[in-house]
Amino acid sequence: MMELLRVARGLRANGVIGINERNAEYTLAYNPRDRYPLVDDKLLTKQFADKAGVAVPPLYGVVEIQHQVLELAAMLSPHQDFVVKPCRGSQGDGIVVVTGRSRNQYEIADGTFMSEEEMAFHVSNILSGIFSLGGQPDKALIEYRVDFDLVFKDVTYRGVPDVRIIVFLGVPVMAMVRLPTRMSRGKANLHQGAVGAGVDMATGITTSAVWKGQLVDTHPDTGNPVAGVAIPNWARLLEIAARSYELTGLGYQGIDIVLDSVRGPLVLELNARPGLAIQLANRRGLGKQLDAVRADHKQLTGIQARVDYARARFGADA
Amino acid sequence: MSRLHLYALAGALALCGIALFAYKAFFLQLPLYPGQRSDVWRVETELRFTAKNGPAKLTVQLPAPTGRLQVIDQSFVSSGYGLTVAPGAAVNQQATFSIAAATGPQVLYSRVVISRVVSLDTVSREPQPEVQRPNLNPPAAVAAEEIVRSARERAADPETLAALIAQRLRNAPVGGEAEYLVGRSPSVARIVATTVDLLGLAGVPSRSVTGISLELERRNAEFVHWLEVFQDGMWRSVYVGETRPEVVQHYLPWWRGRSAFAAIEGGTDLSHHITVSRSQELSLQTAMQQQRATEKRLVEFSLFGLPLQTQFLFRSLVVIPLGIFLLVVLRNVVGFKTFGTFMPVLIALAFRETGIIWGAAFFAIIVAIGLAVRFYLERLKLLLVPRLAVGVMVVVLIICVLTVLFHRVGFTRGLSVGLFPIVILTMTIERMSVVWEENGPLEALQQAVGSLVVGVLTFLVMNIPQLEHLLFVFPELLLVVLAATLLLGRYSGYRLTELRRFRALSR
């Protein structure tokens, strides 16, 4: 009992945020309900971001009704590789990354194969809402497969690594790189066993890492150290993150950016209830940064001012 | 601002609840404790019939106990009906409901409060009753004489004579006199009636008794039959169907003789429904010493004014908020993960009927079989809604098979397996299989066990008699539970599981 109190006091002192606090003090307080559909519906996010000049993976097609599943093969035929994802999915569930074709089979990112029929069934499942929040009927998106920048290739096992940045009132406050592992089966989701690496906000260089809730130094599959990798275009990433506040109007959000070798940073999705494991990845709590932003955000006018503030105040040495 | 608002609202609600509770508890003196299982029962009779567009008259027997039990209160709910209570044949009491014009379905209630007599009257003598000689056709008379003669040879007094005759009739050998009189495997009622006839033949005064057993609280009590024999100036009971003393001492005699329970004129489809409940709240003292003022207030100010059937329902209903409150604590303060938000509370409600051990076992069995079927169905690649529909049907089938199986092996507890919420179980199975595929069996089992543990904990809390009593007698306490839940709604501290999750960051 005393031990628990001591841990709680320690966490409080380090500004660690719990789920209850995130919900009560941030998502409920700063995220207006009517803005949620914008981020929960990935098609809407994509259209919106596109209009605002934020780069997103190009859309190849949308399957909205069961009948269209019959034309799926025709819709997919022009593309060698692509991604199928549920429009309202959460936690990366239901995403299938097709890396190529061999005869009439699709090659999947995790090394397995999928037949035409299995693909059609998967899309049907997406439409029926099995992956969507609350099980509502859904749409399936078919989009460009990111050809990811090789910067993370030594610390990634298959799949696409992405950068998650938490943005509070337009100020980027914390970031991590999510690295797929064998266990996460190519998914960049910490719940499913991906590695989360903390990022120095000032420099964009990875610092520390967490895997399955444990602090680690190396990638579990490749054995390479996770720290010390510099994210290219870091200033641009922070700018995209800061801009997302005006885009969605959500005070507290997570933005997932993926680095494409040709197209540069692309926004994959936005999240109105970003997870808290980012604190473990960075080995620090979010609370102090959030308090600082709450106190100072009125003085920060313009996107550049917010980015500069983040780099100056939230770096690893600050 | 919103925080202040919340505190003010929660405070006001809690204050209201506590004030009302204090008023009822200390000023009206409503009982705070369930007390000892007092010897007071409520027996409620619901009578239904369909009136034929005209005058209707319904005559019904009222409980007329003698000996160890007595009626201490009697009331009727019969809007629009005239009511007369009059003695019927023997020592019976009959109520007659009458109305000049009635159409369609009619419902009438009568309620009696029965209590145990503190000291048994063993002194007064009743006058010697007349003996009714039965009219038997000649062959039956011969068989009857034979049975009476052989019983007389071994009987010491009228009571043992009655017992011997009843025993002979009960174990009627094939082809014997007894079988001729009562037929093969006779009902208790038949044995009682025939024994009374035979005792009449022997010149011993006796009468048949119909009543109910108060031993168990039940929503649909059935009549039991026995007889009384006159000996040494008193009527003594002879039990034919049941001999265990702890059971028969809770037999409530309802009426004597062969009259029917209820008779209707000007109506059809007469049916009755008798509910027995041990009244924990009305201990004898409060009911008697305070001239039953307390009882009147109880009825006025609580759920006691409702018909018994509804009261049973409300006993379960008032503890649901308590279970849900606990669920909120377990999820938001402790950090349990469960399948579905309120699933554990519904499981806990089912446990109230099945009992905890068997409930948990049934839950595990149904979910395990359901999961196996679900994994097989996965290969058929069904779409979501048809797949869920198939899941519901599979669960219903599993429950049917289990119930029949339990019934065959004589495991009566198992029959309550049908009370499990079918749709909730199906959703649990579906979600569990998805978690199983996405995050592995370990995570799925963890969540299943988590749900079960939360279900068991909520059951344990919802099943504390003291809490159930308090919430039933003082439903305004639910306002306090509501206030506490409102406050928890803004609890932004750590969950216990997060202390473990973020432990590394506490240094």
Same domain for B212 and B199:
no
Residues A131, A266 within the same domain: no
CA distance B322 to B467: 9
Of B439, B462, B485, the last residue of a domain is B462
**What is the Cα Rg of chain B in Å?**
30
Cα–Cα distance, A114 to A296 (Å, whole number): 52
Q: Is residue B6 part of a domain?
A: no
One domain, residues B451 and B337:
yes
Same domain for B251 and B270, yes or no, is yes
Instruction: Show the low-confidence residues of chain A (pLDDT under 50).
Output: none
Search chain B and give the residue with CA nearest A9: B506
Determine, yes or no, domain membership for B361: yes
Chain A interface, mutation test: which of B385, B487, B506, most A Cβ atoms within 10 Å? B506
Residue B242 has pLDDT above 70, yes or no: no
Are residues B154 and B245 both part of a single domain?
no
| Tokens linked to B165 | 């005759």
Cβ neighbors of B353 (< 8 A, separation 6 or more) are B416, B419
Which segment, A55-69, A97-111, B31-45, B148-162, is predicted with the most confidence on average? Answer: A55-69
Q: Scan residues 8-27 of B and list those with Cβ closer than 8 Å to A.
A: none
Facing residue for A283 by CB, picked from B332, B499, B505: B505
Give me the pLDDT at residue A17, please: 93
The shortest C-alpha distance from B341 to chain A (Å) reads 12
Mean of pLDDT values over B79-86 = 82
Q: Which residue range is the domain that position A105 belongs to?
A: 59-143
Whether A8 maps to a domain, the answer reads no
pLDDT digits (tens, 9 = 90+) for B417-468: 777 888 888 888 888 888 887 777 888 888 889 889 999 999 999 888 889 8
- Check residue B118 and give its pLDDT: 53
Same domain, B383 and B419: yes
* Together in a domain, A300 and A204: yes
In this structure, the answer to whether residues B47 and B157 fall within a common structural domain is no
Interface test with A, best of B341, B385, B426, B438 (most A CBs within 10 A): B438
**DSSP secondary structure letter of residue B291:** T
- Domain finish residue from B462, B478, B493: B462
pLDDT at res. B305 = 66
Residue A202 has phi, psi (to 5 degrees) of -75, -40
Gap between the Cα atoms of A198 and A226, Å rounded: 9
Residues B245 and B359 in one domain: no
**CA of A57 vs chain B CAs: smallest distance (Å):** 25
Q: Clarify whether residues A126 and A159 are in a common domain.
A: no
Q: Is residue A88 part of a domain?
A: yes
User: Do A187 and A86 share a structural domain?
Assistant: no
Of the candidates A128, A143, A158, which is a domain's last residue?
A: A143
Answer yes or no: is B43 within a domain: yes
Share of chain B above pLDDT 70, in %: 87
Region B239-262 average pLDDT? 77
Q: Same domain for A64 and A23?
A: no
Q: Which pLDDT score is estimated for A133?
A: 66
Question: What is the C-alpha separation between B75 and B377, in angstroms, rounded?
Answer: 58
How many domains does chain A fold into?
Answer: 2
B467 neighbors B34 (Cβ within 8 angstroms): no
Residue B76's alpha-carbon distances to A60, A311, B80, B114, in angstroms, are 75, 81, 12, 15
**Listed residue (B318, B317, B336) closest to B328, CA to CA:** B336
Alpha helices in B171-215 (DSSP H): 177-182, 188-201
Cross-chain residue pair B383–A18, CB shorter than 8 Å? no
Instruction: Using an 8 Å CB-CB cutoff, list chain B residues near A279.
Output: 502, 505
Q: How far is A4 from chain B (nearest CA, A)?
A: 7
- Flag if B505 and A14 touch (Cβ within 8 Å): yes
Q: How many CB pairs under 8 A join A and B?
A: 79
Is residue A318 in a domain?
Answer: no
B123 has pLDDT over 60? no
- Closest residue, chain B, to A10 (C-alpha): B506
Q: Are residues B149 and B119 in the same domain?
A: no
- A4 with B496: Cβ contact below 8 A: yes
Answer whether residue B285 shows pLDDT above 60.
no
Contact B493 A8 (CB under 8 A): yes
Q: What is the DSSP string of A134-197?
A: GG----EEEEPPP-B-GGGGGG--SS--EEEEEEETTEEEEEEEEE--TTTTT---GGGT-EEE
Q: Do B492 and A191 touch (CB under 8 A)?
A: no
Q: Are residues B188 and B49 in the same domain?
A: no
- Residue range B233-237: average pLDDT? 80
B171 touches chain A (CB under 8 A): no
User: Among the three residues A97, A122, A143, which one is the final residue of a domain in this structure?
Assistant: A143
* pLDDT for B247 beyond 80: no
Quote the minimal CA–CA distance from A169 to chain B in Å: 20
* A196 and A221 inside one domain: yes
Q: Are residues A79 and A179 in the same domain?
A: no
Q: Report if residue B27 sits inside a domain.
A: no
Q: Is residue A182 part of a domain?
A: yes
* pLDDT tens by residue, B351-409: 887 788 888 888 899 999 999 998 888 788 777 788 889 999 999 999 899 888 888 88
Q: Would B169 be classed as within a structural domain?
A: yes
Contact state of B505 with A213 under an 8 Å Cβ cutoff: no
The per-residue pLDDT for B211 is: 86
Looking at the partner chain, which of A93, A129, A280 has a beta carbon nearest the beta carbon of B502?
A: A280
Residue B150 lies in domain? 131-204
Instruction: List the A140-143 sheet strands across, edge first.
Output: A59-63, A140-143, A82-86, A96-102, A105-108, A113-115
A65 and A107, same domain (yes or no): yes
A109 in the same domain as A168: no
Number of domains in chain B: 3
* Predicted TM-score (pTM) of this structure: 0.68
- We report the CATH number of the domain holding residue A41 as 3.30.470.20
Nearest residue on chain A to B333, judged by CA atoms?
A20
- A129 to chain B: closest CA residue: B384
Question: DSSP strand E in chain A: where?
Answer: 59-63, 82-86, 96-102, 105-108, 113-115, 140-143, 162-168, 171-179, 195-199, 206-211, 214-216, 252-260, 264-271
- Is residue B490, in this structure, part of any structural domain at all? no
pLDDT in tens, B87-109: 776 678 888 888 888 888 888 88
Chain A residue numbers with beta carbons less than 8 Å from the beta carbon of B507 are 10, 14
**Strand pairing report for A264-271 and A252-260:** antiparallel
B340 falls within a domain: yes
Q: Would you say residue B246 has pLDDT above 70?
A: no
Kindly state whether residues B244 and B113 are assigned to the same domain. yes
* Per-window interface: B 487-506 vs A, CB < 8 A: 490-496, 498-499, 501-506
> Are B220 and B246 within one domain?
yes
Taking residues B42-48, report their average pLDDT: 85
Inside any domain, residue A110: yes
Best A19, A22, A133, A138 member to test B by mutation, with max B CBs in 10 Å, is A19
A185 and A126 share a domain? no
Q: In terms of domains, do B412 and B274 share one?
A: no
pLDDT at B290 over 50: no
Asked if residue A84 is part of any domain, the answer here is yes
The answer to whether position A239 is within a domain reads yes
A39 lies in the same domain as A181: yes
- pLDDT for res B342: 84
B212 belongs to a structural domain: yes
Q: Do B495 and A20 touch (CB under 8 A)?
A: yes
Buried b (16+ CB within 10 A) or exposed e, B358-368: bbbebbeebbe
Q: Domain with A88 in it: what CATH number?
A: 3.30.1490
Residue of A nearest to B507 (CA): A10
- Flag if A128 and B439 touch (Cβ within 8 Å): no
Whether residue B20 contacts residue B476, with contact meaning beta carbons closer than 8 Å, is answered with: yes
- List residues of A whose CB lies inside 8 A of any B CB: 4, 6-11, 14, 16, 18-21, 23-25, 93, 121, 124-125, 128-130, 135, 191-192, 213-215, 276, 279-280, 283-285
* Same domain flag for A231 and A115: no
